[in-house]
Amino acid sequence: MTQIPEAFPEVLAAGAAAAALVAARLLFRARRLVTSLRTERDASVQNQEHLNARRQALEEETQHLVTVRLPALATHLAHRHVPVPGLLHPAFAGSEIDQLHRGALDHLAKAVAAERHRVDEAAQAVMRGATTVIQAQSYQLQSKIDQMQHRYETPEIAGDLLELDHLNEQNLRRIQATGVLCGAWPGLTRADSHLGDVVVGAQSRIRGYHRVKVTSKLDVPVGVVARAVEPVAIAVAELLANAVHHTHGTLAIDVSLHQVEAGACIVIDDAGVGMHADEVEFAARLLSGQRTILLTELGDPPRSGFAAIGRLVRQYGFGVSIDKPAPYGGVRAVVFIPGHLLTVLDDQAHPMSVMAPMHRQATPPPLAAASVQAPHPAVEVDPGELPRRRRRQPQPASAEAAGPRSEQVHSPEETAATWSAFQKGTESGRAAAHTDHHEGTSR
pLDDT of residue 144: 92
326 or 226: which carries more pLDDT confidence?
A: 226
| Measured distance CA(382)–CA(387) in Å, rounded | 7
pLDDT tens per residue, range 147-182: 998 888 888 888 889 889 889 988 888 888 888 888
In single-letter form, the type of residue at position 362 comes to A
pLDDT of residue 8: 64
Average pLDDT, the chain: 77
Answer whether 185's CB lies under 8 Å from 443's CB. Answer: yes
pLDDT of residue 4: 56
Across 407-436, average pLDDT: 44
Q: With CA atoms as reference, report the closest residue to 148 among 167, 161, 166.
A: 161
User: b/e string for 270-279 if b means 16 or more Cβ within 10 A?
Assistant: bbbebbeeee
pLDDT tens per residue, range 304-343: 889 999 999 999 999 999 887 667 778 899 999 999 999 9
Q: For residue 413, is pLDDT > 80?
A: no
| Measured distance CA(318)–CA(195) in Å, rounded | 14
pLDDT of residue 7: 65
pLDDT tens per residue, range 117-153: 898 888 888 888 888 888 889 889 989 998 998 888 8
Q: For residue 299, is pLDDT > 50?
A: yes
265 or 398: which carries more pLDDT confidence?
A: 265
> Which residue ranges form the domains of the chain, and what is each CATH number?
191-396+411-431 (3.30.565.10)
User: How far is CA 151 from each of CA 17, 53, 56, 169, rounded to the nearest angstrom?
Assistant: 142, 90, 86, 20
Q: For residue 440, is pLDDT > 80?
A: no
| Measured distance CA(120)–CA(183) in Å, rounded | 12
Where does the pLDDT of residue 107 fall: very low under 50, low under 70, confident under 90, or very high at 90 and above? very high
pLDDT of residue 319: 93
SS in 3 state form for the chain? CCCCCCCHHHHHHHHHHHHHHHHHHHHHHHHHHHHHHHHHHHHHHHHHHHHHHHHHHHHHHHHHHHHHHHHHHHHHHHCCCCCCCCCCCHHHCCCHHHHHHHHHHHHHHHHHHHHHHHHHHHHHHHHHHHHHHHHHHHHHHHHHHHHHHHHCCCHHHHHHHHHHHHHHHHHHHHHHHHHHHCCECCCEECCCEEHHHHHHHHHCCCCCHHHEEEEECCCCCEEECHHHHHHHHHHHHHHHHHHHHCCCCCCCEEEEEEEECCEEEEEEECCCCCCCHHHHHHHHHHHHCCCCCCHHHCCCCCCCHHHHHHHHHHHHCCEEEEECCCCCCCCEEEEEEEHHHEEECCCCCCCCCCCCCCCCCCCCCCHHHCCCCCCCCCEECCCCCCCEECCCCCCCHHHHCCCCHHHCCCCHHHHHHHHHHHHHHHHHHHCCCCEECCCCCEC
Answer whether 283's CB lies under 8 Å from 322's CB. Answer: yes
Strand order in the sheet with 319-323: 212-216, 253-260, 263-269, 332-338, 319-323
pLDDT of residue 329: 79
pLDDT of residue 416: 47
pLDDT tens per residue, range 352-409: 877 778 776 554 433 333 222 322 233 363 333 333 333 333 333 333 333 333 333 3
pLDDT of residue 409: 39
Across 179-191, average pLDDT: 83
pLDDT of residue 2: 55
pLDDT of residue 257: 94
134 or 420: which carries more pLDDT confidence?
A: 134
Across 237-243, average pLDDT: 92
pLDDT of residue 232: 95
pLDDT of residue 238: 93
Q: With CA atoms as reference, report the closest residue to 236 among 279, 265, 193, 272.
A: 265
As a whole-number percent, the residues of the chain with pLDDT over 90 amount to 23
Q: Indicate the pairing of strand 212-216 with strand 253-260.
A: parallel
